[in-house]
Amino acid sequence: MKIEVGRPFQGRRAPGGPKRAALLLIATSLLVASLAAQQRPKNVREGAYTADQADRGKAGFEGVCQRCHGAALNGSEGNGPPLKGATFLAHWDKDTLGSLWVKIRDTMPLGVPGTLTDEVKLQILAYLLRQNGFPAGTIELPMDVNALEEIGIQQRGVWDGVFTAAQADRGKQSVARCQGCHGPELGGTDRAPALKGNGFLANWEDGSVNRLFVKVRDTMPPSNVDSLSPETKLDIVSYLLRENGFPAGASELTLNADALDGLQIVKKGADAGAPNFALVQVVGCLSRDRSSWALTNATEPVVTRDNAPSAAALKTAEARPLGRQRFGLVSVDASTRSGALDGHKVEARGLLYRDGSYADLNLTSLKTLAASCAK
């Protein structure tokens, strides 16, 4: 076949012509989007952005954000809060990337949010995740609030492999100094508490690894605190974590207070889902049985900081599909008791309480999203 230079290649047309080709392109795009959604992680600890996306976000952050939040993301008094470390993570823990993204998209830079494009802001979000120790993955953050709402923010904890086996082995070699007071099996004595088992967890769970490390660093051994280096004491902390059943990982603990503060000591499974008495958001169908109200076909509760939703949050909630949960409703206001919202798809906020299969919300807000609960 001879192809003339400077003229487009004239091959055979696909059966069906341009219309068929366009439909095939649409179908391919939908398939790619569907596969991406299936592969997208459910938590930032599983790799929710790519390294390249975070690299681009670094340039955007340094160009605009660091003036208020500092080059190290530690914040500056009177200008901007920290975007890295324990304070930042505690603020957003058990929320979603959708909430964080809306905050950045709609309000940053403060007073002039239109000076950066949404694409650049999304790249900056990826950079913030990397700076907070969350790993990169293979799929970029999507510019889709609904998709980001499905990705939870959860602090790393001792179940994520926060020390290495070699580091714990080094700690084992040095722990003999501790056994004189805490017992040969670290089970505690009349002179010192247990460093292993239920006694250890009772003292240290729901706190950070840094809290434990500071105790060891600043007070142990009681009679000669400076006899062991901080590095050696951190190795001992790694050994104590392993002895209490927490798994080793690929990276060592480091002498970084922010990083250690961001690592929580919890029992296995204790950090799953929203805790009791947390302020949460739920989308569901309002139903009434005589004098009792409930949300049926409701979504899993998501921790929030706001008693009532913004217009943007309601728009996002409107697009959320219904779920399979049921919540009894407490503190229902007079307008709801009138029956005006019966059968509506609603966004509810309130304090969560669950006990086995029973769950209820002590309402702070109830807003209609649609007049029908049809899925």
CATH value at residue 227: 1.10.760.10
- Residues 202, 239: one domain? yes
Residue range 203-217: mean pLDDT, rounded: 87
- Residues 289, 364: one domain? yes
- Residues 252, 291: one domain? no
- Residues 176, 201: one domain? yes
> What is the pLDDT, as a whole number, of residue 54?
97
Residue 336: CB partners within 8 Å, gap ≥ 6? 286, 293, 366
- DSSP H stretches of helix in 196-306: 198-204, 209-219, 230-243, 257-261
- Residues 149, 72: one domain? yes
Contact between 69 and 132 under an 8 Å Cβ cutoff? The reply is: no
- Residues 144, 173: one domain? no
Does residue 34 sit within a domain?
no
Determine the structural domain holding residue 224 and report its residue range: 159-265
| Final residue belonging to a domain, choices 155, 190, 218 | 155
Does residue 291 sit within a domain?
yes
Residue with tokens 């980001």: 148
Least confident of 21-25, 113-117, 349-353, 357-361: 21-25
Q: Would you call the peptide bond into 109 cis, given omega within 30 degrees of 0 as the criterion?
A: yes
- Residues 343, 356: one domain? yes
No. of H helices and E strands in the chain? 15, 8
Does residue 110 sit within a domain?
yes
- Residues 163, 261: one domain? yes
| Final residue belonging to a domain, choices 237, 265, 293 | 265
Does residue 4 sit within a domain?
no
Does residue 241 sit within a domain?
yes
- Residues 170, 254: one domain? yes
Does residue 24 sit within a domain?
no
Residue range 331-339: mean pLDDT, rounded: 88
Mean residue pLDDT of the chain comes to 85
Which of the four pLDDT bands, split at 50, 70 and 90, describes residue 232? Answer: very high
Does residue 271 sit within a domain?
no
What span, in angstroms and rounded, lies between the C-alpha atoms of 114 and 107?
9
Residue 258 tokens read as 């922010």
Residue 205: pLDDT over 70: yes
- Residues 95, 116: one domain? yes
| Final residue belonging to a domain, choices 265, 296, 327 | 265
- Residues 138, 164: one domain? no
Least confident of 22-31, 70-79, 105-114, 221-230: 22-31
For residue 294, give the CATH number of its domain.
2.40.50
What span, in angstroms and rounded, lies between the C-alpha atoms of 247 and 242?
6
Residue range 69-91: mean pLDDT, rounded: 84
The total of structural domains in the chain comes to 3
Contact between 280 and 336 under an 8 Å Cβ cutoff? The reply is: no
Q: Could you report the per-residue pLDDT of 13-25, keeping only the tens digit for each?
A: 545 566 666 666 6
- In percent, the amount of the chain with pLDDT more than 70 equals 87
Does residue 130 sit within a domain?
yes
- Residues 146, 48: one domain? yes
Q: Could you report the per-residue pLDDT of 110-131, keeping only the tens digit for each?
A: 999 999 999 999 999 999 999 9
Which of the four pLDDT bands, split at 50, 70 and 90, describes residue 166? Answer: very high
Residue 4: pLDDT over 90: no
Calculate Rg over the CA atoms of the chain: 26
